[in-house]
Amino acid sequence: MTKSSKQKKNTDINYDYDVIIIGTGPGGEGTAMELAKKYKKVAIVERYKDVGGGCTHWGTIPSKALRQSVSRLIDYNSNPLFRGHEKAKHLTFPDILKHAASVIRKQVQLRSGFYDRNRVEHIVGEASFIDSNTLKIVKDDGSLEKLSARQIVIATGSHPYRPADIDFNHPRVYDSDTILSLQHDPRSIIIYGAGVIGSEYASIFRGLGVKVDLINTRDRLLSFLDDEMSDSLSYHLWNNGVVIRHGEQIERVEATDDAVIVHLESGKKMRADCLLFANGRTGNTADLNLANAGLKADGRGQLKVNDHYQTEVENIYAVGDVIGYPSLASAAYDQGRLAASAMIDKQSTAKLIEDIPTGIYTIPEISSVGKTEQELTEAKIPYEVGRSQFKHLARAQITNSLVGSLKILFHRETKEILGIHCFGENAAEIIHIGQAIMQQKDGGNTIEYFVNTTFNYPTMAEAFRVAALNGLNRLF
């Protein structure tokens, strides 16, 4: 049979759906909404009882809700307005989980409404491939259902990596999913893995007054960041009492009824009330029976896709954490939307923006967009630096958010903005002002914009004007 006749035969088949999407996180949602708007018959399959995926239930939303509560607690206890009138407040981890649970409920209700209004069928069950167009769905009651679709999207996300020699069933050993079930109030915690998740939880626990040991397998924190941002975070954690151990690897974990002892390959050993293992994530593909569809995941459970998020099997697409970088909820939603566009229009050229912003919700936050100083230096691009410190801004003084800075990197000759890096409260919000200017074309992206425009006063946005003036003063 020729390829054209095979394709014709496929178009003649009566499938149950135009598209079935496995997973209801940001990637699955972005795909479903775009397809539904184009009048496609769409179903989503979710193995958990509620929509939202890991992002809503175990990852982004709960951890950021926890961080917000702890950040406000720190503000209260450090604000001179309240000092001396009341004793310092103390909240336990279970206390602040209540706020996170409330946010999760609201997000589930909101996202369920999206699917209902757009007539996307929500199927609860565990999906696996029978062939490239057919899925077996195992329901909670054990019943089976077979569903077919012209196209299938894998948006199953990822889960924390769990080494086989560590007992994650022990009540004192957690990963970044199960830490949300922590019911006791630990006085000390060891966090293994100083990536984004480990650094965020180090901030959260230290903000609650817990003694934190942060074990970093590399030689610096978050090495993908601009060095000054990484150094700022390291100093701030150290200054708040977090002990950071760089270049270390776990040899074994000894868990007892009342403590966890971590033995490191360097010969060191550490003791704490509990362990949070946050070193790596794995794509959720192990239970999909990919081989039946002609697919194979790599060693990290991830799938390879082309520029249109199409896998090696023509009618199967994949988006989100299951394809790896950049593993951001924001990017996953856009990947889903772009994949849907490609599924509808094979000639689609839409792509993700080149400069995707990064938001890291430590206390304080870090956010960046564009190139780092290291990257520009290595590429021999003549750049200059403009800086502003939050402690000099009126709004920061009013809100007592004095820790932090904004850095703008720009080309010496063209004055084009090449990168923006921010450390401090609300950094992930502030960065978008600079990002919007960086996206301007035909000469609209220059640092002079921040000098020539008028900002509200007092605002944190003023940091851009101060940094721009600082940078332009360096030119000669």
CATH of the domain at 316: 3.50.50.60
Q: Is 200 assigned a ligand-binding role in the annotation?
A: yes
Buried b (16+ CB within 10 A) or exposed e, 54-83: bbbbbbbbbbbbbbbbbbebbeebeeeeee
Residues of the chain where predicted confidence (pLDDT) is lower than 70: 1-12, 83-88
Q: Is 156 assigned a ligand-binding role in the annotation?
A: yes
Q: Is 162 assigned a ligand-binding role in the annotation?
A: no
Q: Which of 258, 279, 300 is the last residue before a domain boundary?
A: 279
Is the same domain home to 137 and 216?
no
pLDDT value at residue 1: 43
* Per-residue pLDDT tens digits for 418-453: 999 999 999 999 999 999 999 998 889 999 999 999
Residue 117: helix, strand or coil by DSSP? helix
Q: Is 54 assigned a ligand-binding role in the annotation?
A: yes
Q: Is residue 163 part of a domain?
A: no
pLDDT value at residue 75: 87
Q: Is 195 assigned a ligand-binding role in the annotation?
A: yes
Is the same domain home to 244 and 318?
no
Is the same domain home to 272 and 287?
no
Q: Is residue 454 part of a domain?
A: yes
Is the same domain home to 465 and 379?
yes
Is the same domain home to 240 and 333?
no
Neighbouring-strand partners of residue 22:
45, 154
The total number of residues shown for the chain amounts to 476
Q: Which of 237, 257, 279 is the last residue before a domain boundary?
A: 279
Is the same domain home to 215 and 113?
no
Q: Is 50 assigned a ligand-binding role in the annotation?
A: yes
Is the same domain home to 263 and 296?
no
Q: Is residue 166 part of a domain?
A: no
pLDDT value at residue 354: 87
* Per-residue pLDDT tens digits for 51-81: 999 999 999 999 999 999 999 988 888 877 7
Q: Is residue 419 part of a domain?
A: yes
Q: Is 267 assigned a ligand-binding role in the annotation?
A: no
Q: Is 259 assigned a ligand-binding role in the annotation?
A: no
pLDDT value at residue 83: 65
Q: Is residue 8 part of a domain?
A: no
Token readout for 256 is 């007892």
Residue among 61, 57, 55, 63 nearest 363 (CA): 63
Q: Is 124 assigned a ligand-binding role in the annotation?
A: no
Is the same domain home to 340 and 371?
no
Is the same domain home to 328 and 304?
yes
CATH of the domain at 453: 3.30.390.30
pLDDT value at residue 78: 81
Q: Is 55 assigned a ligand-binding role in the annotation?
A: yes
pLDDT value at residue 264: 98
Q: Is residue 349 part of a domain?
A: no
422/431 Cα distance (integer angstroms)? 7
Is the same domain home to 254 and 325?
no
Is the same domain home to 117 and 230?
no
Where in the sequence is the domain holding 424, given as residue range(s)? 364-472
pLDDT value at residue 364: 94
Is the same domain home to 74 and 33?
yes
Q: Which of 228, 257, 279 is the last residue before a domain boundary?
A: 279
pLDDT value at residue 5: 45
Structurally, the chain folds into a number of domains equal to 3
Q: Tell me the DSSP string of 48-91.
A: SSSSSHHHHHTSHHHHHHHHHHHHHHHHHHH-TTTBTTBPPP--
Amino acid at 285: T
Q: Is residue 259 part of a domain?
A: yes
299/311 Cα distance (integer angstroms)? 16
pLDDT value at residue 261: 98
Q: Is 291 assigned a ligand-binding role in the annotation?
A: no
Q: Is 46 assigned a ligand-binding role in the annotation?
A: yes
